[in-house]
């Protein structure tokens, strides 16, 4: 008997999403039929999608972004939007819905689809790595590699010109990218939401480093988009950079005003080419999703614990950042 599966890529895109979609469609037996919602949950709400088969999903695993397009749906957060999404599922007689997304997207499935009797499987897909029970969500490794490469580029020019540098990374309110990149690039200060440094502390560390002969300081900074407006405002790369300049000027540090530079890597990180690991993860998440469908195990996300891909109830994976 045919099985009809809907695939949705929600939230921000993550390198490796295409690999995962290629895996799901291409590893599936021929009685599986696939529909890809366009632009995240909006595609489900508005019944806007395409048939996915081997013709349009083969050979896309190395391409970044997501060919289904991603999005954050306002409408899906309303009762009317949910009813429209459910109507689409009913109309197409989907046996299951696979959602690729981060914490917010998977919690959308948990709150709005699962309680309405929809068979849901979540695949952690976000550069933020904000899904519990998942060592690496899809996209994290690519964004990590790309960020290190970009910070290396910045570092070389900053060091050459004896400058201090503040670099803000994406990651929403999960510190994993910031901590990993900060360590790998040997940043002098790694500043996360959970481990903020006061402006005085930053000034002191930088001044000490200089006294000890280090001509250039690097600070890696976590964005906290939407979590705490005050924190967000005083921890933007620009704000901190300006402040450090002011402190340096006040303290008569030679050439201080020309010393500090700021960068926000932002979407450059998310547009990274999928790393080999993310393509491998995509293939494995795909295999596991098909295994779960065959076993009729729904209401779960696929976690990665050690080297094992496991099924975790959706309710359990939400804890990481809440």
- The single residue among 22, 128, 146, 188 that binds ligand F6P, judged by CB under 6 A, is 128
Per CB under 6 A, the segment of 23-31, 123-131, 294-302, 307-315 that binds ligand F6P is 123-131
Helix, coil or strand: residue 269: helix
One residue of 9, 10, 12, 65 binding ligand F6P per CB under 6 A: 12
- Distance of alpha carbon 148 from the chain centroid: 16
| Closest separation in Å from C-beta 303 to ligand F6P | 19
β-pair partners for 96: 5
Contact between residue 216 and residue 164 where contact means Cβ atoms under 8 Å apart: yes
Beta bridge partners of 134: 304
CB of 220 to ligand F6P, least distance (A): 14
**Minimum CB distance to ligand F6P, residue 206 (Å):** 27
**Given 126, 192, 216, 284, the residue binding ligand F6P (CB under 6 A):** 126
CA end-to-end span of the chain, whole Å? Answer: 41
Whole-angstrom distance, CA of residue 41 vs CA of residue 21: 16
Interface region with ligand F6P, contact rule CB under 6 A, candidates 16-24, 79-87, 155-163, 169-177: 169-177
d(CA 64, CA 288): 22
Q: Confirm if 138 and 16 have CB atoms less than 8 A apart.
A: yes
Helix (H, G, I), strand (E, B) or coil at 83: helix
Taking CB under 6 A as the rule, does residue 34 contact ligand F6P?
A: no
128 among known catalytic residues: yes
Q: How far apart are CA 45 and CA 179, in angstroms?
A: 37
Q: Does 41 bind ligand F6P (CB under 6 A)?
A: no
* Active-site entry in 13, 42, 95, 128: 128
Min separation Cβ 175 and ligand F6P, Å: 11
Residue with tokens 């429209």: 84
Comparing CA positions, the residue from 117, 164, 72, 134 lying closest to residue 316 is 134
Q: How far apart are CA 113 and CA 126, in angstroms?
A: 20
Q: Which stretch binds ligand F6P (CB under 6 A): 74-82, 107-115, 126-134, 248-256?
A: 126-134
x-or-dash string of contact with ligand F6P, 88-117, rule CB under 6 A:
--------------x---------------
- Give residue 166's Cα distance to chain centre: 21
* Residues binding ligand F6P: number (CB under 6 A): 12
* 171 near ligand F6P (CB under 6 A): yes
The pairing of strands 218-222 and 49-52 is unpaired
Q: For ligand F6P, which stretch binds (CB under 6 A), given 73-81, 124-132, 196-204, 276-284? A: 124-132
Which residues contact ligand F6P by CB under 6 A? Answer: 11-12, 102, 126-128, 170-172, 223, 225, 270
Indicate which residues carry an active-site annotation: 128
């Amino acid at each position: 008997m045919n099985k009809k599966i809907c695939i949705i890529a929600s939230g921000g895109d993550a390198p490796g999403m295409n690999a995962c979609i290629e895996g799901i469609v291409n590893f599936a037996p021929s009685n599986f039929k696939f529909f890809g919602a366009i632009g995240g949950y909006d595609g489900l709400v508005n019944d806007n999608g395409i048939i996915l088969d081997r013709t349009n999903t083969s050979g896309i695993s190395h391409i970044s972004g997501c060919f289904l397009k991603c999005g954050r749906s306002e409408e899906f957060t309303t009762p009317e939007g949910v009813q429209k999404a459910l109507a689409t599922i009913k109309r197409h007689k989907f046996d299951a819905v696979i959602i690729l997304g981060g914490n917010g997207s998977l919690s959308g499935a948990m709150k709005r689809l699962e309680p309405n009797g929809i068979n849901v499987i979540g695949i952690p897909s976000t550069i933020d790595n904000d899904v519990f029970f998942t060592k690496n969500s899809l996209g994290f490794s690519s964004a990590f590699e790309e960020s290190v490469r970009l910070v290396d580029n910045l570092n070389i020019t900053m060091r050459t010109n004896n400058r201090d540098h503040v670099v803000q990374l994406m990651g929403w309110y999960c510190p994993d990218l910031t901590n990993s990149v900060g360590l790998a690039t040997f940043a002098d200060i790694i500043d996360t939401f959970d481990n903020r440094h006061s402006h005085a502390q930053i000034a002191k560390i930088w001044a000490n480093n200089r006294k000890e002969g280090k001509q250039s300081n690097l600070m890696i900074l976590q964005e906290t988009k939407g979590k705490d407006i005050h924190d967000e405002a005083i921890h933007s790369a620009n704000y901190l950079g300006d402040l450090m300049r002011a402190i340096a000027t006040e303290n008569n540090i030679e050439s201080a005003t020309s010393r500090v530079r700021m960068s926000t890597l932002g979407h450059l990180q998310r547009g990274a080419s999928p790393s080999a690991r993310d393509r491998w993860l995509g293939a494995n998440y795909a295999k596991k999703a098909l295994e779960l469908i065959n076993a009729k195990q729904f209401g779960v996300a696929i976690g990665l614990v050690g080297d094992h891909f496991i099924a975790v109830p959706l309710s359990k994976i939400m804890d990481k950042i809440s």
